[in-house]
């Protein structure tokens, strides 16, 4: 799922720190705005917009962090509004609801672990590419601005 | 040149769309498998709901008793019971 591949150049200390921060941003946002699924996407998006003119390594990792948040936003939004429906309307807790919540918790936990792993490795200058997200990032992020 | 570029772009797109489908498939399979388990029984949701309803009922009863007067007149209670027997079925 996660591969340590070679980047076209060796990133400097400053770049590695900034790239690692893009993942840390989503982690902090997850902790801060846990019930709201949009918070971590906004945090990663702001960081991405701030580094749009950054070096290739930084841009690449900001894009990967942002893309990973997009798919989480999709599944978390459904879970969030389903819960709101149960609390404030006539909806009741069903087996399907519990199964969905447990599934999204599992996927969020997976993403959380992957993000921690990537943040640590990126800080050390190692290029970490995620399965699927890494390929999409390669299409979206070009070495030249 | 342009043709080969389009060819490689399409190949990359195909590969990634396959990966996207696999990822969606993994999610849906996990959801399907999770759905097979009886979480309602596992988390004792029904018992917890009944307990909460009972506690809420007691709480509301306390509030009503504190704010109003409880009618214990047998005539009124009897009439109410008759009404219930006649109309509430």
Enumerate residues 6+ apart whose C-beta is below 8 A from B35: A95, A96, A99
Q: Read off the pLDDT of residues A69-99 as tens digits, 9 standing for 90 and up.
A: 888 888 888 999 999 999 999 888 899 999 9
Percent of chain A with pLDDT over 90: 21
At A9 the pLDDT is 77
Contacts of B31 in chain A (CB under 8 A): 99-100, 103
Residues 48-87 of B with CB under 8 A from A: 49
Q: What is the ipTM of this complex?
A: 0.80
Enumerate residues 6+ apart whose C-beta is below 8 A from A29: A39, A40, A42, A43, A44
8 Å CB contact between A130 and A114: yes
Beta-carbon separation of A100 and B45 below 8 A: no
pLDDT class of A47 with cuts at 50, 70, 90: confident
Enumerate residues 6+ apart whose C-beta is below 8 A from A33: A39, A40
Optimal mutation site among A93, A105, A133, interface B, most CBs of chain B within 10 A:
A93
Q: In the 8-state DSSP scheme, what is residue B71?
A: -
Q: Read off the pLDDT of residues B36-61 as tens digits, 9 standing for 90 and up.
A: 999 999 999 889 989 999 999 999 99
What is the pLDDT averaged over residues A41-49?
84
Q: What is the mean pLDDT of chain B?
A: 82
Beta-carbon separation of A131 and B31 below 8 A: no
Q: What is the mean pLDDT of chain A?
A: 85
For the cut 70, the answer to whether the pLDDT of residue A21 exceeds it is: yes
At B28 the pLDDT is 95
At B38 the pLDDT is 93
pTM: predicted TM-score of the whole model, two decimal places: 0.75
């Amino acid at each position: 799922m996660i591969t340590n591949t070679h980047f076209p150049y060796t990133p400097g200390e400053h770049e590695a720190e900034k790239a690692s921060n893009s993942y840390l941003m989503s982690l902090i946002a997850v902790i801060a705005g846990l019930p709201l699924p949009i918070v971590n996407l906004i945090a990663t998006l702001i960081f991405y917009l701030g580094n749009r003119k950054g070096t290739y390594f930084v841009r690449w990792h900001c894009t990967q962090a942002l893309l990973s948040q997009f798919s989480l936003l999709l599944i978390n939004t459904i879970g969030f509004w389903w819960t709101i429906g149960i609390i404030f309307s006539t909806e009741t807790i069903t087996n399907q609801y519990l199964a969905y919540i447990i599934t999204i918790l599992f996927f969020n936990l997976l993403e959380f672990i992957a993000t921690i792993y990537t943040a640590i490795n990126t800080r050390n200058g190692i290029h970490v590419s995620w399965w699927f997200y890494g390929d999409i990032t390669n299409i979206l992020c070009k070495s030249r601005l | 040149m342009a043709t080969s570029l389009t060819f490689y772009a399409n190949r990359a797109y195909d590969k990634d769309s396959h990966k996207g489908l696999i990822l969606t498939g993994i999610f849906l399979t996990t959801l399907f498998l999770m759905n097979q388990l009886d979480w309602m029984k596992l988390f004792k949701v029904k018992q917890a709901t009944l307990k909460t309803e009972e506690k809420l009922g007691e709480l509301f009863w306390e509030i009503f008793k504190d704010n109003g007067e409880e009618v214990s007149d047998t005539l009124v209670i009897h009439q109410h019971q008759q009404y219930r027997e006649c109309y509430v079925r």
